[in-house]
Structure 1
Amino acid sequence: MIAVYSTKSSLPSFDELKSSPNGQMIRVHAADGTVLVSLGPSYGQWISYDDIPEVMRDAMVAVEDRRFRSHPGVDPVAIARILRFAMTREEGQRLQGGSTITQQVARTIFLSNKYDMGRKIREMILALAMERKFSKDQILELYLNKVYFGGGAYGIDAASRKFFGHPGTELSLAESAVVAGLVKAPSRYAPTADAQAAIDRASTVLKLMVETGTISAQQAAAADPDTIEIERDPNQNSVRYFTDWALPQLEVLIDETEAPLEVWTTLDVGMQRAADEAIRVNAPKGAQGALVALDRDGAVRALVGGRDYVSSIYNRATQAERQPGSAFKLFVYLAALEAGHRPDDIVVDEPVEIRGWSPRNSSGRFSGEMTLRAAFAYSVNTIAAKLGQEVGFGTVADMARRFGITTKVNTHPAMVLGSSNVRLIDMTRAFASVSQQGVSVTPYAITRVTANGETIYSHQVDRSHVLVAPYVAAEMTDLLQSAVATGTGRAAQIGRPVAGKTGTTTSNKDGWFLGFSSGITTGVWMGRDDAGRVPGLAGGRAPAQAFASFMRRAVARRPVEQFDTEVTLPEWQLEPDERSWYYGPDNGVFVDEDGNPIDPGDPYYDERGGDRTGEEELDQSWIDRMIGRDREDPQPTPTPAPPPPPRQPADRNPQPRSEDGAPRNGIPPATSILPPGYRAQPQPTATPAAP
């Protein structure tokens, strides 16, 4: 008792407790200064005991401490339960419940949330002392104005305004039951996080109120929590994925922990809205989606981590690790270009086996000789495997890490087809670095932070880290342009130059599109959280369509920018069939965690079908119209020239041939594979040359 009375004499007055600090507030601004969201403790208006609705007071006592009016600050029954638990608990278990309302006030004001017996004892002493200094009504007033209700809201007024849109003095019986039910687990029962869980918890509170006699069964039945209208935060979906990722970075950027902060970010409100819509509209039914958009200096202009933040706060843009499929070929081709290959080099699409692994092409065939550009545009797996073997799988992994991949990259042969898990934000960063002529781009969200009107942090962009030579980045951009102009990424066209790459994993579990145009680099991922199959999902469909939908709005007010290299049309003979353009899985093989092949059975394909005979021919004028070049320098559309005969290998890459022209290694000459609906010109019969 000496400790109790000693503590009582040192307690602040009631008025001092009412005016105690409210904690650090953080106000987050978009790039244009718009306030996105205010985070941190929010206490609303202080409500005196007499102005607190009686149903709110009764609901809180019923659910948190039904013997509140009779105990001296500590409940003897609860003490016995805690002592018994302390003697029998196993290591790692924490002390359970038992705190009275007075103890919770003591903990909220004076102690931390650390769970141990020492804190419990101090909590009890403080509670006993407070009961001797303050009345029950004063203690309940402190409690209802200071306890945490979730969503940053402290006190019933802040909670009422956040969840119901009106002051705490106007709480109804049903709303009071919702608010009272939040104290046990604010993050679990908050209406904005899980409305049904909040309603179920409110029903429990009403039953407890009936048990304690504060309301009748008829009143409980009339107070239907299902009829409550929850106030939705209009910014909840559009910015919380972004702020959840950005704000933890403050811990390493600044030391200020008490003064209110103004945080200025890179987010573009219009782009964020467009990103939200692009994912919600284009993600297949039952699938999730994510999008990251970076400006040329790494500023994150939009970030969407899922279809709906209220339903799931899991950030798939920054946290999820998924296989990228053929989008990973970016690093294979970067390594090959750095090793000396060029986009027009002739390579051979043929069966290949590496350490017992034989990749297959999504087209189901081998096309013989083609350029490196065509192999990339149509995502030919055998060529990627050959290049990986040539430069070394370790070299490809090193290239991925050089460009910002932070997850583990294996060096098994199948890695060239995207068997290692990656994060969307890392892949977007890599493509952004290519767009910036090989200079490293680091994503950032916070531009500056002010406290009490003074700037305490200002971001500085580092452009000094060169990842590859500019010519390598330019040649990689050349390949990426071809993939969008005529290859697997055609759905990503937006009427101006675009460079990008699709990615689709086996069984249509993941679909990717990453690309850039006019200074904005955007990455899109779609799939199921449980890695289940999504029928019809492919990088060239929904992800590419979401990319195009977003980018049309994102770059609408930016000038059209041409790349260092003009897009070049791959040979018409080598265009694969429609299925490989859109629907085939890019990685073409099931592998286990060690990279060993697994028998996949019959791969799933979703046939597009339909008549394509009315489609345009894929000539250079068609490409010019698709990327907007014809609007800058209008020229009459030339008559398409007859298709050239199959190309022979360049002298710098000779192939041994027999007298009849067939390769001596047994690989047949390149086969003419026309896209469905291609209108070839009649060809004259060639006269055989004299022997």
Structure 2
Amino acid sequence: MPRAVAPRVRRAPAAAPARPAPPARSRRRLAPRFFRWAVTLTVWGLVAGFVALIFFAWDLPRPEDALAATRRPAITMVAANGALLSTSGDLYGETVRLRDLPPHVPAAFVAIEDRRFRDHMGLDVIGMIRAAVANVTAGRVVQGGSTLTQQLAKNLFLTPERSLRRKVQEALLALWLEARFTKDELLTIYLNRVYLGAGTFGIDAAARLYFGVPARRLTPGQAAVLAGLPKAPSRYNPRVNPSAAVDRAIEVLGAMVETGVLPAAAAMAEAERIHFPPAPSRDAGWFADWVRDGIGDHAPPTSDLLLRTTLDARLQAAVELRLEAMLASQGRAAGVSQGAVVAIEAASGAVRAMAGGRDYRRSPFNRATQARRQPGSAFKPFVFLAAIEAGVRPDDGVADGPINLGGWTPGNGNWRSRGEITVEDAFAHSVNTAAVRLMQRAGGARKVGAVAQRLGLPGPFPRDASIALGTAEVTLLDLVTAYAPFANGGRRVAPFGIAEMRAEGRPIAWLPPGPTPVITADAAEAMRRMMAATVARGTGRAAAVSGLAVAGKTGTTQDNRDAWFIGIAGGLVMGIWLGNDDATPMEGVAGGGLPARLFRDILETHRGRGA
């Protein structure tokens, strides 16, 4: 019987031997190592952070000190009627509070600059991410992420430098400001200190400069214009680029609609109403410079000044208009490139108008106060006055024939000798030989120089007979001022341009020198009579104005290099000079021609404007 065979049982392959678990002692050694590395990294991270903080903050300004930082004192000048003439320095207006402003004023700034202003703590992470995405998408910087608080920190404490350090410092200062002030306080500080172009800081100064109103009277459209300025104060300056300012204001109005400040229809109506008052004349800059230079030590050096000046805005406008018109037409044809005009109030010396040239922007050199030139026959009133004081009368006779003084023989131009004429006719027709003879009767050149100096001309004066023909150099302002005694009864005045001065709102004593008697009323009357004859029938006929008593004197220098007319009318003494800066001769221009006509044109334009 066969033996039974047991079935084979397939054995499973032996499993790989398991790795032995690390001993507990190894795990205990690794844990301290990780802990030591973590501590080391933390310490070095803190050290690096501390070093970085020192790097960014070592020159960080002290906010408490920066809030009281000094600035350039502002000088604001207005005309006699209150119209703005000029500003200089850092111009700040009145300090405004939120409750004093229409709600749309701060809302305009928040809408366009920082809509999340009341939700963040100085740094707007959401705003920064949104700006970064917009800039990356556009491939250029089209949006900023700075908050109003960061802008305030930059404006108050930092320079405009673009660097990582400045941005970090800006952030640190923004956090400090948020911790120190409430949101309303921050917005108030911002509105009073933000730079809004043209040297203006703060909403009130900008409102007055661009719109002629205080901040509390700003309309929504005007507020939108100002709120659009912080982005680019120069580019959107209404005085420089009004169309760009309007376009930017429309953007701000759109933001105000999106934030619920204005309905869309109201925003559109405000956009249509935006307009800018005309800017003050830049040609009044000569007057403003002259006034500013004369302040000297009369005002505190660190205080903001408000100067109400003596300038008559209507007369100044007439001077600028007619001077430019004449130089561009008749003057151009006659080779005249420059001119100057000064008008003062005869009774006081208050300067009512001043143009020191053709265009202040091209040449701020003041030809009315800085250029010294020979006045020619416009100096003769002082010669004739010396003779009057020596006993000569306008009706007396004087020879007009040739005269020889040591080989010097003055000519008479186109005048044909009559043998003897009255002193008045000699003056009216500007007869040179008669003037020399009257100088001799008066006591000579020294006497004439003393008379001229007494009336206000500083000199020096020639000590020979040529003084009678106006060879002493003078400025137009000095010459006009020296004519004032002929118009006001014999009193010398000092020219001045400030009627009232205030420093930080407080009045400052400002008393210009009072008129001083220098000639008798009879002598003044005799001179005025002869000047009236000059305009009525003499060399100054072109200066006559219908319905107005006009007196004056013409002057022309050798080769027609300078042409003058100094006239008296309506309580004013107004002087005209025409010529060229390089003393190039003009083509036949004499004092009785273009200068006298310009005098007439200015007065007629001034009267036509309702003065």
In structure 1, what is the Cα distance between the partners aligned to 2:482 and 2:560?
23
Residue of structure 1 equivalent to 2:363: 312
Matched residues in 2 for 1:553 and 1:520: separation?
15
Q: Distance in 1 between matches of 2:487 and 2:402?
A: 33
Partner of 1:322: 373
Deviation digits for residues 581-627 of structure 1 (CA, Å, limit 9, x no counterpart): xxxxxxxxxxxxxxxxxxxxxxxxxxxxxxxxxxxxxxxxxxxxxxx
One of 229, 238, 243 as aligned partner of 2:288: 243
1:291 aligns with 2:326: no
Equivalent residue of 2:343, what SS?
A: strand
Contact 2:424–2:533 (8 Å) recurs in 1: yes
Query: Is the contact made by 1:262 and 1:450 (CA closer than 8 Å) also made in structure 2?
Result: yes
Query: 1:235 is matched by which residue type in structure 2?
Result: P
Q: What does residue 561 of structure 2 align with?
A: 509
Q: 2:214: which partner in 1?
A: none
Question: Counterpart in 1 of 2:538?
Answer: 487
Query: 2:401 matched to which residue of 1?
Result: 350
Distance 1:454 1:475 in 2: 46
**Maintained 8 Å contact 1:282/1:545:** no
Shift of residue 407, structure 1, vs aligned partner: 4.0
Q: Which residue matches 2:24?
A: none
Match of 2:308 among 246, 264, 272: 264
Residue 550 (structure 1) aligns with: 602
Structure 1 CA distance for aligned equivalents of residues 553 and 83 of structure 2: 34
CA displacement at 1:306 relative to structure 2 = 1.2
- Alignment partners' CA distance in 2, 1:264 and 1:106: 33
Among 400, 413, 418, the alignment partner of 1:362 is 413
Whole-Å Cα distance in 1 between the matches of residues 171 and 459 of structure 2? 54
The DSSP-based 3-state class of the residue aligned with 1:478 is: helix
Shift of 1:315: 1.0
Residues of 2 paired with 1:168 and 1:521: CA distance? 44
3-state secondary structure, aligned to 2:502:
strand
Instruction: Supply the AA of the counterpart residue of 2:291.
Output: A
Q: Secondary structure at the match of 1:298?
A: coil
The structure 1 residue matched to 2:593, chosen from 541, 556, 579, is 541
Aligned to 1:40: 89
Give the SS at the match of 1:458.
coil
1:542 is displaced (CA, Å) by: 1.1
Q: Which amino acid aligns with 2:323?
A: I
* 1:20 aligned partner: 69
The correspondence of residues 29-428 of structure 1 with structure 2, limited to 5 A, is 29-42=78-91, 135=168, 152=199, 167-171=228-232, 234-254=279-299, 256-283=300-327, 284-285=331-332, 286-295=336-345, 296-363=347-414, 365-390=416-441, 391-428=443-480
Distance of 2:197 and 2:495 partners within structure 1: 30
SS at match of 2:407: coil
1:27 positional shift: 1.8
Which residue number in structure 2 is paired with residue 646 of structure 1? none
CA, structure 1 residues 372+138, in 2 after alignment: closer, same or farther (shift >3 Å)?
A: farther
Q: Does 1:473 align with 2:524?
A: yes
> Partner of 1:598 in structure 2?
none
Give 1:18 shift: 6.7
**Is the CA contact 1:25–1:39 (under 8 Å) kept in the aligned structure 2?**
yes
Distance 1:135 1:558, change over 3 A: closer
| Residue identity in the other structure for 2:296 | E
Whole-Å Cα distance in 1 between the matches of residues 200 and 610 of structure 2?
41
Aligned-partner Cα distance in 2 for 1:457–1:135:
49
Summarize the Cα distance change of 1:302–1:357 in structure 2 as closer, same or farther, 3 Å threshold: same
Residues 491 and 541 in structure 1, CA contact (< 8 A), matched pair in contact too: yes
Matched letter for residue 428 of structure 1: V
Give 1:131 shift.
Answer: 9.7
1:9 CA drift (Å): 6.7
| Contact kept in structure 1, 2:308 and 2:499, CA below 8 Å | yes
Contact 1:278 1:549 in 2 (8 A): yes
Q: Distance in 2 between matches of 1:367 and 1:552?
A: 36
C-alpha separation in 2, matches of 1:408 and 1:106: 54
- Sort the Cα spacing of 1:558 and 1:461 in 2 relative to 1 into closer, same or farther, 3 A: farther
SS in 2 for 1:250: coil
Q: Distance in 2 between matches of 1:420 and 1:537?
A: 20
Letter of the 2:514 partner, please give it.
D
Unaligned runs of 5+ residues in structure 2 are 1-53, 94-108, 115-122, 133-155, 175-192, 211-224, 242-275
Supply the AA of the counterpart residue of 1:40: G
**How far is the alpha carbon of 1:461 from its aligned partner?**
5.3
Report if the CA contact (8 A) 2:60-2:169 is conserved. Answer: no
Specify the code of the residue in structure 2 equivalent to 1:234.
A
Letter in 2 for 1:252: D
| Aligned counterpart, 1:81 | none
Tell me how far 1:136 sits from its aligned partner. 7.4
- Secondary structure (helix, strand or coil) at the match of 1:291 reads strand
- For residue 408 of structure 1, report the CA deviation from its aligned partner: 2.4
Say if 1:480 and 1:407 are closer, same or farther in 2 by CA, change over 3 A.
Answer: same
User: Which amino acid letter does the alignment assign opposite residue 304 of structure 2?
Assistant: P
The one-character-per-residue Cα deviations of 1:39-98 (angstroms, maximum 9, x if unpaired) are: 2224899999999999xxxxxxxxxxxxxxxxxxxxxxxxxxxxxxxxxxxxxxxxxxxx
Q: Which residue does 2:142 correspond to in 1?
A: none
Q: Distance in 1 between matches of 2:319 and 2:566?
A: 14
Say what the alpha-carbon RMSD is for the aligned residues. Answer: 4.8
| Distance in 1 of aligned mates of 2:89 and 2:565 | 36
Paired residue for 2:30? none
Identify the residue that residue 500 of structure 2 maps to in structure 1.
448
**Closer/same/farther in 2, CA of residues 336 and 450 from structure 1, 3 Å limit:** same
Whole-Å Cα distance in 1 between the matches of residues 491 and 610 of structure 2?
22
With over 3 angstroms needed to count, the CA separation of the structure-2 counterparts of 1:136 and 1:557, relative to structure 1, is closer
User: 1:237 offset after TM fit, Å?
Assistant: 2.8
SS at 1:336 equivalent: helix
Q: Quick check: 1:306–1:315 contact (8 Å CA) kept in 2?
A: yes
Say if 1:343 and 1:479, in contact at 8 Å, map to a contact too.
Answer: yes
TM-score (norm 1): 0.55
The letter of the residue matching 1:547 is F
Letter in 2 for 1:290: A
Which secondary structure does the structure 1 equivalent of 2:417 belong to?
Answer: coil
Q: Equivalent residue for 2:3?
A: none
CA distances 1:160-217 after superposition (whole Å, capped 9, x unpaired) = x99xx98555549x969x9xxxxxxxxxxx999xxxxxxxxxxxxxxxxxxxxxxxxx
2:217 counterpart residue number: none
1:34 Cα deviation from its structure 2 partner = 2.5
Contact map agreement 1:282 1:546 (CA 8 A) in 2? yes
Identity of aligned residues (%): 35
Other structure's SS at 2:517 match: coil
Q: Do the aligned residues in 2 keep the contact of 1:30 with 1:266 (CA within 8 Å)? A: yes
Aligned to 1:575: none
Structure ranking higher in helix proportion: 2
Work out whether residues 341 and 577 of structure 2, in 8 Å CA contact, stay in contact via their aligned partners in 1: yes
